[in-house]
């Protein structure tokens, strides 16, 4: 996740690097019991750890019509979910190959 | 840095106590702590004036800013050492370590360590939602509907993928633990459990089902730590601290270095080193069991079995009382009690009881060395404790 310094060497000379948006499902879970009423209407939904091709790992949902068929090792592609009020949330969809 | 090995045999646990467990609506969280503390003090045969230090953890139901001070205020204590230590489920081991360090340095002589809260009856609906909302990283996990069982489910799935741990093996952990709870009169769960029942319980976060998850209790636990010298003058057989080790690698799962390798290996190594023993010397283990996958991973990381062999160890009954290494002899957090940091603290309470002996059908024969492993967060903070009924 973004931070003020590098957690490996504590260098604070950091720069933003644009991700190419491709990744692989490292692990996932299909949530049947929502943590709060906000997410209750979404169950079952997929939470996942995505290994980005660029290196970092990030947490997100796998969304889309075939999301519930997700498996470890699946290729995924970045997309953005409009949550309203100008919030565009990075998400992932399953990608062929 | 002081020689860590000097803690071995320096202090002992001389009193343990549990509050009433289950639904205890007539007691507040502080009240549960008070009840457990009084029972621990009575067990030790000590007086209130003997306590010169208090350590406690945290409370979701009664989130006082200075929980340690609030508890001292409630108990009428004015100790020279007081703190609230927040390392999630690892807190009890961490508190024992800090109590031991203070006593070994002569900064305190007799420290009360307690934790617990009224999680079963103390929450209003709004408070429960508020608590759930603060779990997970606020920017990078919460917006995705992350939840504690979901994070552990992702660990479970990756572990099953890499090591072949099976769904049935996860269930066997819950069954193993329940069989021990049935022998413990203070355990919250009172009915037998089968693998089939676990597999038929409702899905929470696939692959974890409801009966893979720890229970929710009103409960508090307490223990009293003092110097080995003082311990030898008291009425109970002292249970000495032989080793303790910690490791903290992350808080949020998205920053975990790995989804299969955690800090228990390092905290265990440090504890074994201080104690001068290895996994083969241990007679019983109380392993943190918020979800069924966790004791399997801990069994492996702590060196009791090879990587990938933890599931079959449970499935084949080796973790039962009478087996190769009895695990969670009190019933664990899956079946005895879970109320915040109290869950892991009961592993220490049970180890002390086992090492004193006389636990009836629950007694592990010739128990001399017990290992307790605490973890907090999502396998984030780890503390391993080794206790013995002999000083050296």
Q: Please give the ipTM for the structure prediction.
A: 0.97
pLDDT at B3 over 60: no
Q: Which of B153, B150, B177, B148 is nearest to B165 (CA)?
A: B153
Distance in Å, alpha carbon of B333 to nearest chain A alpha carbon: 20
pLDDT at B272 over 90: yes
Distance in Å, alpha carbon of A9 to nearest chain B alpha carbon: 16
Per-residue pLDDT band for B1 (boundaries 50, 70, 90) equals very low
Which percentage of chain A shows pLDDT scores above 90?
A: 90
On whether the CB atoms of residues B51 and B225 are closer than 8 A, the answer is no
pTM for the full model? Answer: 0.96
Name the token pair of B279: 């996994």
The arithmetic mean of pLDDT across residues B258-280, rounded, is 98
Q: Which of B161, B205, B254 sits opposite A58 (nearest CB)?
A: B254
Tokens 């949020």 sit on residue: B252
The arithmetic mean of pLDDT across residues B186-202, rounded, is 98
Per-residue pLDDT band for B123 (boundaries 50, 70, 90) equals confident
Picking from A6, A27, A81 by the largest number of B CB atoms within 10 A of its own CB, the best residue to mutate is A27
List of residues 6+ apart from A75 with CB closer than 8 A: A22, A23, A24, A94, A95, A96, A97
Picking from A3, A24, A35 by the largest number of B CB atoms within 10 A of its own CB, the best residue to mutate is A35
The arithmetic mean of pLDDT across residues B368-381, rounded, is 97
Q: Which of B132, B141, B203 sits opposite A59 (nearest CB)?
A: B141
Cβ A35–B157 below 8 Å, yes or no? no
pLDDT at B2 over 50: no
Number of H helices, E strands in chain A: 1, 5
The arithmetic mean of pLDDT across residues B38-42, rounded, is 98
Tens digits of per-residue pLDDT, B149-179?
Answer: 999 999 999 999 999 999 999 999 999 999 9
On whether the CB atoms of residues B16 and B23 are closer than 8 A, the answer is no
Q: Please tell me what DSSP assigns to residue B276.
A: T
Mean pLDDT value across chain B: 95
Higher pLDDT, B132 or A84: A84
pLDDT for residue B224: 98
Strand residues in B105-216 grouped as ranges (E): 110-118, 203-206, 208-209
Distance in Å, alpha carbon of B337 to nearest chain A alpha carbon: 22
Picking from A31, A56, A86 by the largest number of B CB atoms within 10 A of its own CB, the best residue to mutate is A31
pLDDT at B4 over 70: no
Cβ B145–A59 below 8 Å, yes or no? no
Residues in chain B whose beta carbon is closer than 8 A to a beta carbon of chain A? 129, 132-133, 135-137, 139-141, 143-147, 149-150, 153-155, 157-158, 161, 202-208, 253-255, 259
Tens digits of per-residue pLDDT, B274-326?
Answer: 999 999 999 999 999 999 999 999 999 999 999 999 999 999 999 999 999 99
Cβ A34–B147 below 8 Å, yes or no? yes
The alpha carbon torsion through B17, B23, B26, B27 (nearest 10 deg) reads: 40
Q: Which of B129, B137, B203 sits opposite A36 (nearest CB)?
A: B129
The arithmetic mean of pLDDT across residues B184-189, rounded, is 98
User: How many Cβ pairs closer than 8 A exist between chain A and B?
Assistant: 93
Distance in Å, alpha carbon of B232 to nearest chain A alpha carbon: 47
pLDDT at B130 over 70: no
The arithmetic mean of pLDDT across residues B30-55, rounded, is 98
């Amino acid at each position: 996740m973004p931070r003020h310094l590098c957690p490996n060497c504590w260098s604070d000379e950091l720069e933003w690097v644009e991700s190419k948006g491709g990744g692989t499902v490292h692990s996932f879970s299909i949530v049947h019991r929502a943590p709060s009423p906000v997410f209750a209407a979404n169950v079952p939904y997929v939470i996942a750890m995505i290994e980005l091709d660029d290196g970092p790992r990030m947490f997100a949902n796998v969304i889309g019509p075939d999301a519930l068929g997700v498996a470890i090792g699946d290729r995924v592609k970045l997309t953005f979910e409009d949550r309203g009020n100008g919030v565009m949330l990075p998400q992932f969809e399953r990608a062929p190959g | 840095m002081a020689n860590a090995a000097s803690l071995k045999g320096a202090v002992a646990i001389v009193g343990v106590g549990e509050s009433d467990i289950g639904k205890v609506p007539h007691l507040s969280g502080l009240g549960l702590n008070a009840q457990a503390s009084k029972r621990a003090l009575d067990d030790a045969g000590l007086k209130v004036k003997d306590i010169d230090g208090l350590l406690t953890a945290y409370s979701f139901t009664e989130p006082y800013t200075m929980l340690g001070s609030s508890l001292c205020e409630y108990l009428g204590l004015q100790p020279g050492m007081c703190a609230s230590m927040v390392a999630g489920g690892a807190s009890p081991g961490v508190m024992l370590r800090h109590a031991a360090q203070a006593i070994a340095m002569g900064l305190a002589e007799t420290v009360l360590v307690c934790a617990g809260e009224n999680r079963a009856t103390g929450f209003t609906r709004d408070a429960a939602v508020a608590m759930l909302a603060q779990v997970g990283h606020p920017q990078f996990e919460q917006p995705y509907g992350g939840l504690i069982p979901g994070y552990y489910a992702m660990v479970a799935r990756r572990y099953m993928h890499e090591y072949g741990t099976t769904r049935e093996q996860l269930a066997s952990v819950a069954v193993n633990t329940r069989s021990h709870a049935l022998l413990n009169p203070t355990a919250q769960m009172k009915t037998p459990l089968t693998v089939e029942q676990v597999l038929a319980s409702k899905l929470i976060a696939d692959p974890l089902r409801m009966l893979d998850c720890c229970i929710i209790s009103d409960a508090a636990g307490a223990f009293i730590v003092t110097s080995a010298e003082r311990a030898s003058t008291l009425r109970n057989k002292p249970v000495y601290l032989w080793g303790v080790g910690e490791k903290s690698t992350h808080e949020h799962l998205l920053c975990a270095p790995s989804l299969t390798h955690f800090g228990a290996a390092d905290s265990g190594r440090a504890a074994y080193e201080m104690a001068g023993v290895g996994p083969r010397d241990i007679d019983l283990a109380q392993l943190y069991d918020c979800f069924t996958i966790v004791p399997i991973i801990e069994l492996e990381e702590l060196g009791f079995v090879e990587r990938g062999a933890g599931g079959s160890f449970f499935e084949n009954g080796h973790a039962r009382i009478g087996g190769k290494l009895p695990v969670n002899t009190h019933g664990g957090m899956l079946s005895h009690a879970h109320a915040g940091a109290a869950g892991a603290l009961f592993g220490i309470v049970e180890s002390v009881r086992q090492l004193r002996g006389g636990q009836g059908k629950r007694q592990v024969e010739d128990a001399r060395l017990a290992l307790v492993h605490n973890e907090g967060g999502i396998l984030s903070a780890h503390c391993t404790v080794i206790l013995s009924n002999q000083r050296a």
